[in-house]
Chain A
Amino acid sequence: MEHRDRRVDMALGLGLAGFVLLPWYRIDEGFYAFRWPAQFPFGAEEAPALVQMAAQGRWWLAVVAALLLAAAAVRFAAPAVSRGRLLVALGAAGMAFLVLQGFAITFGGWSWDIGEALFGPLATGQPAMGAGAVLVGLTFLFLFSAGLAEQGVMKGDFFVIAAIALLVALVAVFVFYPVLSMFVGSVQDFDGSFEPSGFMRNIRDPAIWSLDCVIGGGRCGVAWRTLWLALMTATGSTVLGLAFALVATRTRFPFKKGLRLLTVLPIITPPFVIGLALILLFGRAGVVTTFLSDLFGVEPGRWLYGLTGIWIAQMLSFTPISFLVLIGVVEGVSPSMEEASQTLRADRWRTFWHVSLPLMKPGLANAFLIGFIESMADFGNPLVLGGSHGVLSTEIFFAVVGAQTDPSRAAVLAIVLLCFTLSAFLAQRLWLTGRNFATVTGKGDGGVHPALPRPLAIGVNALVIPWTAFTLVVYGMILVGGFVNTWGLDNSLTFAHFERAFSFAFRDGSIAWTGVAWDSFWTTMMIALVAAPLTAAVGLLTAYLIVRQRFVGRNVFEFALMMSFAIPGTVIGISYIMAFNLPPLEMTGTALILIACFVFRNMPVGVRGGVAAMTQIDASLDEASLTLRASSWRTIRHVVLPLLRPAIVAALVYSFVRAITSISAVVFLVSAKYNMATAYIVGLVENGEYGVAIAYSSMLIVVMLVVIAGFQLAVGERRLRRETRIAAPAAVRPLPAETIKEKIA
């Protein structure tokens, strides 16, 4: 019985600390600045709940105190039979009350009239929740879980129950609450009152929905243009990806290894860099443009700025992803099927057309939908190349930061975008379930793939070779671009851009970071380093729960998590500022909001990787550990985690790199104090400082390459050792293909 007492005691201790020892409300200059202890416990802002309640007239906090005291009474006095039930009730009541009071009472007092009618007007409102409130919230969550554990739920495993409760709470706060806030925000005015006119005006705005380009002479609405672009990009990248996959697996192409290296590129490339390189090549002052205009004497055109340019940039960005998906698909087609077809008198062409290709269809659909969602969500390339022809994601951005700030419009556009991507995601799910011609079976499958029909082989090579060359030129531009003075005008080489960005000097015995980029560079590194382990931890914990535990609503939980993949970064960004700008939770302008954003955007990748790795580990290992007196926590630490090491490293690398390269959500959340590299580079591009921007981008790419190579080396070494020590452990690939498949900008 001592286990159950100890955990309730610990929870109550936390609650006491949260109520008495920590500031209850948010500290404006930041909790971690640690200037609050000076004013503690009697400063108006810094006071703990006890003082807030007694001295500052915030009487409603007494309810929290009463609930905590009731829990303590239950701990010592209640009979064992009913104790669990009482703890569950108190925990649930505590969480519900905290949420309710947070929404009901804000800066100005009651936020709903009903509160005033019931309890009379308040002398004082309250700011956003702070450390104390969060800790007490956790206390209630733990009490709730301890109560469930005592009732024997989940085999009485407190750790598992608490982990599930915590994850559900986190996902609710950081994924669903923001999206919900965005929906609410679309029908609210600036002061928060219900005002549907903005919503009605925007949802019917011809600038979004007009079909003039089809039926009239004008331009189509932004929604249709985005859709059209996404369809084009998805088609193009799927065709190119298939061509690459066929070349890499079915021909005697000499540089296959090199081709596969291409698949790493989209992970380490900040999303707008391709657009930037295209400007250096084909922009009005681009190398190719000026060369051609000199040669033929034609006026340099602006054709790049618009859907065409975005399309080319997106094809360059997403073809490697499609390639990666389709390699697996093409390799998955069983050679014995194709051999069977050939023995049935079908020639190579007929075999390909009637057997191989139909077997690849689900994979092709998958690649198409990934391309579609990627294109919809892409923010970097349209921002750089869009000009006046915006797409949904950039329009959202300009509705928030542009000349006429219109949060309602931003919310409506975000909802439209969300509807498109979620429909695609659901379509993908529906289409793929039960339609998977799983051609990779457990049985050994001998045989060789037949060569491609000759015309097709020529065709795919004709696509792949120029496109590869083009990609290499583009990346070459990125690496060289930083060393050129001003593209098109003055092509002489220079270190000026790097100097401006990354110069440093020794002054008074210390290094002075004088370059303009250092500020955002260090912030980025710091935030990425904090976010990466958190992402991996949350992702792998979730994977453990999904794979190893059976609980009510597990499928819903998993589905909701995977769905958060399909929420474009722009939508996340806009929903975060709408949700976390006002009490009860206020985080805008802090590093915390950036970290939370990265953790919950990149977590699903960790979940995927973790699920894949964990299903390869025999469940009886966990059970053996449990019967050997180890708690779930000890089991995870000593058995599961050591066996998952490669998956952990993959999740760490991925979330680190993604935190550095992502832009779409970040651009909404950065502040003067916490600026991120990508947001800073976009600023440079908007000022026309292409040289510095590209220098900074190439620096980022190099840093990430070093990081990935370093980790890969570490993993490779570890795996080798494991293989020499252990005959055949489940070797987990460092970056599972599905992981990258699900990457969404």
Chain B
Amino acid sequence: MNGLKTGSVVFEHVRKTFGTFTAIHDLSLTIEPGTLVTLLGPSGCGKTTTLRMLAGLEHPTDGRILIGGKDVTMLPANERDVSMVFQSYALFPHMTVIENVAYGLESSGLRKTEAREKAEAGLALVGLAGFGARLPAELSGGQQQRVAVARALVLEPQVLLLDEPLSNLDARLRRRVRTEIRELQQRLGFTAVYVTHDQEEALAVSDRIVVMVEGRIAQEGPPRALYESPASSFIADFMGEANVVPCEVVGVEGAEAVVRLGALEHRVPGRAARPGPAKLAIRPNAIRLAPADDGGLKGLVRHAAYLGDHVEYEVETEVGTLYVVDPDVERSLAATTPVAIGLHNRGVAIITA
């Protein structure tokens, strides 16, 4: 299992239309070998279509797709060196677990005994040794999910595709399985393309994240860069919630910029901003609420909700209503309390786009 070939993936100006509807507009993307890249976006953004084109389940209208340097654009799914884990797992209900895992090996022309041996090894890899004789329906959701992963992995594909692999699991299990997938990927070193609409999941597992909106790539980069330097207000809000408010860049000092937000001035990483009007993305936990006479930006608490480990506030200010998360649960501010608003250094980013 350790000899997994790793492969790069290249999309070159790929376009996909369904009738008059354009699902993907001119997508170009390079995925480095051995990395786990997440396609992230709201439903209907084209991320699953992109994955299916990589699998060969859809063919692009225009453009080229290369896997491991080889043009596979017109190759049918069964002749590509990729395999896929489906959202519904798509385990064949009439075959036992071992038959499911051996299916792809037998399709590739392996002899039955050999395929069985490899399949057993694959099941052991995902911690399901000894479950081979069961039917998929006799396994729990998490176990089914691991069978689906084993079934895809035993083929030692250049690229493993995962289409929302965790969406049918409950929240607790989801966290565990995603760690398992990430560990497996890092241990075996294969390239993986992972589709999800859950930004937390994307942040947790990815080497790089590709955010897609309406058939286009909105931003691409390592998780941290996306979270800390969102390119647009959409990304800022989609990658964890953010208050996006208008501001004024009053000065640029080296790598930093000074922005003014009402009566409040604040230093942020400059991101090539030029003086003039801009937007500021502020994470809810980057806002500090203080007694009203503290100066700064004035606000009025409209609504407060106690949530155990933090309190959520809606604060009305002259730049708009801000959503605030305050870890200080001891001090609970009631509605209609006037407050002064300050900002932490982290969690505030200027948006030029």
Q: Which residues of A contact B (CB under 8 A)?
A: 3, 150-152, 155-157, 618, 620-621, 623-632, 634, 638-639, 642-643, 722, 725-729
A618-B88, A620-B87, A623-B90 in contact; A630/B59 too (CB < 8 A)?
no
Q: A156-B59, A630-B104 provided; 8 other pairs, C-beta below 8 A?
A: A156-B74, A627-B57, A627-B78, A629-B104, A634-B107, A642-B94, A643-B93, A729-B94
Distance in angstroms from B123 CB to nearest chain A CB is: 15
* Cross-interface CB contact of A627 among B73, B83, B91, cutoff 8 Å: B83
Please report the total number of B residues contacting A with Cβ < 8 Å.
36
* Cross-interface CB contact of A726 among B86, B93, B103, B108, cutoff 8 Å: B93
A156-B75, A629-B107 in contact; A623/B94 too (CB < 8 A)?
no
Hey, which chain A residues are within 8 Å of B155, CB to CB? 628-629
**CA gap between A331 and B73 in the complex, in Å:** 51
A628-B107, A727-B137 in contact; A623/B57 too (CB < 8 A)?
yes
Most buried by B among A620, A627, A631: A627
**CA gap between A118 and B57 in the complex, in Å:** 50
**CA gap between A729 and B107 in the complex, in Å:** 25
Interface assignment of B273: CB less than 8 Å from any CB of chain A: no
Interface assignment of B10: CB less than 8 Å from any CB of chain A: no
Interface assignment of B330: CB less than 8 Å from any CB of chain A: no
**CA gap between A632 and B151 in the complex, in Å:** 18
Tally of contacts, chain A with chain B, CB under 8 A:
98
Distance in angstroms from B114 CB to nearest chain A CB is: 15
Interface assignment of B245: CB less than 8 Å from any CB of chain A: no
Hey, which chain A residues are within 8 Å of B136, CB to CB? 726
**CA gap between A627 and B51 in the complex, in Å:** 12
Hey, which chain B residues are within 8 Å of A623, CB to CB? 55, 57, 77, 84, 86, 90
Most buried by A among B74, B77, B79, B152: B77
B149-163 vs A, Cβ < 8 Å mask (1 yes, 0 no): 001100100000100
* Cross-interface CB contact of B77 among A152, A627, A643, cutoff 8 Å: A627
* Cross-interface CB contact of A631 among B78, B86, B88, B151, cutoff 8 Å: B78
**CA gap between A625 and B136 in the complex, in Å:** 15
Closest A residue, CB atoms, query B163: A620
Q: Are B94 and A643 interface neighbours, CB within 8 A?
A: yes
Q: Are A152 and B74 interface neighbours, CB within 8 A?
A: yes
Hey, which chain B residues are within 8 Å of A643, CB to CB? 93-94
* Cross-interface CB contact of A626 among B56, B93, B151, cutoff 8 Å: B56
Distance in angstroms from A723 CB to nearest chain B CB is: 10
* Cross-interface CB contact of A157 among B76, B88, B108, cutoff 8 Å: B76
Closest B residue, CB atoms, query A628: B104
**A to B CB contacts below 8 Å, 30 in the list:** A3-B79, A150-B74, A151-B74, A152-B59, A155-B76, A156-B59, A620-B86, A620-B87, A620-B88, A621-B92, A623-B86, A624-B86, A624-B91, A624-B92, A625-B103, A625-B107, A626-B56, A627-B77, A627-B152, A628-B104, A628-B151, A628-B155, A629-B78, A629-B107, A630-B103, A725-B137, A726-B93, A727-B137, A727-B138, A729-B94
Chain B, range 55-69, C-beta contacts under 8 Å to A: 55-59
Interface assignment of B135: CB less than 8 Å from any CB of chain A: yes
Q: Are B57 and A626 interface neighbours, CB within 8 A?
A: yes
Q: Are B94 and A627 interface neighbours, CB within 8 A?
A: no
Closest A residue, CB atoms, query B56: A155
Hey, which chain B residues are within 8 Å of A152, CB to CB? 59, 73-74
* Cross-interface CB contact of B92 among A156, A639, A728, cutoff 8 Å: A639
Distance in angstroms from B74 CB to nearest chain A CB is: 4
Q: Are B56 and A621 interface neighbours, CB within 8 A?
A: no
Interface assignment of B324: CB less than 8 Å from any CB of chain A: no
Q: Are A628 and B103 interface neighbours, CB within 8 A?
A: yes
Most buried by A among B92, B151, B161: B92
Q: Are B57 and A156 interface neighbours, CB within 8 A?
A: no
Interface assignment of B24: CB less than 8 Å from any CB of chain A: no
* Cross-interface CB contact of B84 among A150, A624, A632, cutoff 8 Å: A624
A3-B79, A631-B78, A727-B137 in contact; A155/B58 too (CB < 8 A)?
yes
**CA gap between A632 and B88 in the complex, in Å:** 20
Closest A residue, CB atoms, query B109: A629
Hey, which chain A residues are within 8 Å of B83, CB to CB? 627-628
**CA gap between A623 and B88 in the complex, in Å:** 11
**CA gap between A624 and B92 in the complex, in Å:** 9
**CA gap between A638 and B93 in the complex, in Å:** 11
Q: Are A621 and B59 interface neighbours, CB within 8 A?
A: no
Closest B residue, CB atoms, query A638: B103
Closest B residue, CB atoms, query A722: B94
Q: Are A627 and B55 interface neighbours, CB within 8 A?
A: yes
Hey, which chain B residues are within 8 Å of A725, CB to CB? 135, 137
Interface assignment of B212: CB less than 8 Å from any CB of chain A: no
Interface assignment of B289: CB less than 8 Å from any CB of chain A: no
- Nearest 6 Cβ contacts at the A-B interface: A628-B104, A624-B90, A152-B74, A626-B77, A630-B107, A620-B90
Hey, which chain A residues are within 8 Å of B107, CB to CB? 625, 628-631, 634
A155-B77, A726-B135 in contact; A627/B59 too (CB < 8 A)?
no
